[in-house]
Amino acid sequence: MEDLRSGVERVAEDVAYTAIGLAVLGFQRAQVARRQLERALPVSGALERLRSLLSPQPEPPRRDRQ
């Protein structure tokens, strides 16, 4: 029974390390894609405009009618 438990623990640990590794690789891929996009934008100021479009915008204040 102890062998089964240690085997399950080992498999769970391997799965966790694999998931973390895949997440790190995905994050790095996203960084590479972002850098390639930055290089591909020919217009100066386009990157700042793109960032402003992608960043969350504050909601305008609500005007409740009474």
pLDDT at 25 over 60: yes
Structure tokens, 39: 């290089």
Average pLDDT of span 9-32: 96
Q: Name the residue with higher pLDDT: 2 or 11.
A: 11
Whether this model's pTM surpasses 0.75 = no
Q: Which residue has the tokens 């590479």?
A: 32
Structure tokens, 26: 């995905």
Q: Are 47 and 41 in contact (CB under 8 A)?
A: yes
Q: Are 50 and 41 in contact (CB under 8 A)?
A: yes
Q: What is the pLDDT of residues 27-50, one digit of tens each?
A: 999 999 988 887 887 666 777 777
**Alpha helices by DSSP H, the chain:** 2-40, 46-54
Distance of CA 48 to the CA centre of its chain: 20
